[in-house]
């Protein structure tokens, strides 16, 4: 693959390259379009790790996405500076790589449903549990496969290329460079079974868009419906992992799942606490500990960023050839970078994700998603099966809640169900809970 193709400024849904504005690059436009979208704004009320937290200091998807974008910008800009000579001949500034990675990072969670990964799992579980029911039995195996393995990454691609701004005419109309960097898994759900992939990034409904992106960028095709990753997508992934590993620890303290000493011991794997200067005498107790943790986390991030940039440059040829060995850059870094990330993730898994209080909330989120799918899928199926004069008023009221997402009787069942998932996955946590409670009251 070549940088001249991989850093394409052409836009999806637009026939030619837009004129560059004074003081604003094509990739900075991508950043602005994502930030000002309604889908991005709703991330402020969607679960990051802890569903419906009472503590306002706990991260939701929005601050997480902003923090990831900040780390991603640093990674991209530093890589761009190291590649400056290679980029000079294609009129790309080193800072452009920072903007591309930042844009992709801002959008990386935009397709997540309410309640985070718990909501994602709940949608797939519901479609698997109901696979033999009348309202699903007419779907093809391929259609059902996307629903049963519902993937927020694939929903994100649908949002940015179809649903936001120019509806079904390019969506946000982002540059191909940003779209390629956003695609963490540039393949369809077919490869979950045939190639043993764990996740995927494109539903059947966006298959043509995926092929278009891959062709424009010159991504190497590895399967009939799968391509190798854009090199910069590895930087987006690394930025996400850095923030997950670091910020989850601080949220764990806020929620009472981790102690300061536990988090300090992990940070000491990569930070020398003796180098942190004494803080103001007014800082004491928990405030003192919080500030020390925040300063140490900043130092840790700097070390992680430098290690990942070095590894990217070292692996550059393999990334461009599509034969990079390993799953991610952090693994390729090895040493204390990998040790810190692995230890932080394992601690979060053991002490945070398996905490009984968190799991109780996730059980409730599953029930909410199930109530929503029961109501909206059944109502949509009845719309297709019943004459208008026999269509129950209750089902009409439910579908009316969908607004512009409301399915039409002459649509295919698969297309109608896609719109149901567009609506439900776009909900915030509180809105999903509110609508499910209204539906339950309606059923009494």
Chain centroid to Cα 226, Å, comes to: 19
Contact 135, 59 (CB under 8 A): no
**Looking at the DSSP assignment, which residues form a beta bridge with residue 11?**
175
List where CATH 1.10.3210.10 sits in the chain: 3-15+22-113+150-227
Fold of 233-354: putative deoxyguanosinetriphosphate triphosphohydrolase fold (1.10.3410)
pLDDT at 419: 96
Architecture of domain 3-15+22-113+150-227: Orthogonal Bundle (1.10)
Contacts of 134 (CB under 8 A, 6+ apart): 381
116: left (phi over 0), alpha (psi -120 to 50) or beta: left
pLDDT at 133: 93
Tens-place pLDDT, residues 169-211? 999 999 999 999 999 999 999 999 888 899 999 999 999 999 9
pLDDT at 293: 80
Q: Exposed/middle/buried for 85, CB within 10 Å: 0-12, 13-18, 19+?
A: exposed
Tens-place pLDDT, residues 136-173? 998 999 999 999 999 999 999 999 999 999 989 999 99
Dihedral (CA of 113, 118, 121, 125) sign: negative
pLDDT at 57: 61
List where CATH 1.10.3550.10 sits in the chain: 114-149+355-444
Instruction: Please identify every stretch of the chain with a pLDDT value under 70, giving residue numbers as ranges.
Output: 48-57, 277-288, 353-358, 360-361, 444
Alpha carbons 148 and 121: distance in angstroms, whole number: 9
Contact 148, 116 (CB under 8 A): no
The domain 114-149+355-444 having CATH identifier 1.10.3550.10: the answer here is: yes
pLDDT at 427: 94
pLDDT at 248: 75
Alpha carbons 260 and 371: distance in angstroms, whole number: 39
pLDDT at 358: 64
Nearest to 161 by CA among 213, 122, 114: 213
List where CATH 1.10.3410.10 sits in the chain: 233-354
The structure's pTM equals 0.93
Nearest to 441 by CA among 375, 381, 386, 369: 375
Tens-place pLDDT, residues 38-75? 999 999 888 765 555 555 667 788 999 999 999 999 99
């Amino acid at each position: 693959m070549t940088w001249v193709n991989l850093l394409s400024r052409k836009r999806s849904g637009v026939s030619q390259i837009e004129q560059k504005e004074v003081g604003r690059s094509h990739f900075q436009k991508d950043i602005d379009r994502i930030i000002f979208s309604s889908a991005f704004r709703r991330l402020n009320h969607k679960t990051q790790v802890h569903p419906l937290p009472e503590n306002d200091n706990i991260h939701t998807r929005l601050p997480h996405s902003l923090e990831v974008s900040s780390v991603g910008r640093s990674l991209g800009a530093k890589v761009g500076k190291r590649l400056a000579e290679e980029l000079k001949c294609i009129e790309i500034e080193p800072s452009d790589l920072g903007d591309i990675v930042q844009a992709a990072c801002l959008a990386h969670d935009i397709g997540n449903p309410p309640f985070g990964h718990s909501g994602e799992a709940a949608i797939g579980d519901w479609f698997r549990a109901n696979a033999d029911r009348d309202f699903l039995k007419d779907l093809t195996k391929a259609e059902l496969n996307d629903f049963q393995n519902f993937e927020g990454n694939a929903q994100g691609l649908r949002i940015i290329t179809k649903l936001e701004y120019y509806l079904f005419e390019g969506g946000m109309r982002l540059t191909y460079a940003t779209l390629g960097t956003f695609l963490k898994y540039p393949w369809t759900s077919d490869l979950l079974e045939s190639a043993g992939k764990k996740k995927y990034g494109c539903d059947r409904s966006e298959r043509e868009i995926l092929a278009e992106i891959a062709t424009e960028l010159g991504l190497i095709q590895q399967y009939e419906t799968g391509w190798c990753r854009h090199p910069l997508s590895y930087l987006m992934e690394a930025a996400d992992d850095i923030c997950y590993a670091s910020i989850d620890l601080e949220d764990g303290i806020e929620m009472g799942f981790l102690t300061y000493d536990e988090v300090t011991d992990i940070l000491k794997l990569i930070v020398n606490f003796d180098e942190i200067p004494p803080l103001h005498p007014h800082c004491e107790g928990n405030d003192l500990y919080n500030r020390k943790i925040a300063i140490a986390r900043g130092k840790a991030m700097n070390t992680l960023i430098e290690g990942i940039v070095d590894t990217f440059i070292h692996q550059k040829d393999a990334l461009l050839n599509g034969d990079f060995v390993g799953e991610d850059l952090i693994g390729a870094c090895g040493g204390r970078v990998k040790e810190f990330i692995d230890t932080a993730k394992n601690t979060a898994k053991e002490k945070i994700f398996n905490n009984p209080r968190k799991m109780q909330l996730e059980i409730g989120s599953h029930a909410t998603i199930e109530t929503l799918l029961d109501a909206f899928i059944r109502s949509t199926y009845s719309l297709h099966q019943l004459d208008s004069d026999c269509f129950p008023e209750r089902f009409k009221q439910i579908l009316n809640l969908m607004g512009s997402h409301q399915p039409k009787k002459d649509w295919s069942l698969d297309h109608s169900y896609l719109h149901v998932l567009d609506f439900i996955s776009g909900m915030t946590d509180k809105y999903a809970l509110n609508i499910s409670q209204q539906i339950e009251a309606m059923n009494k």
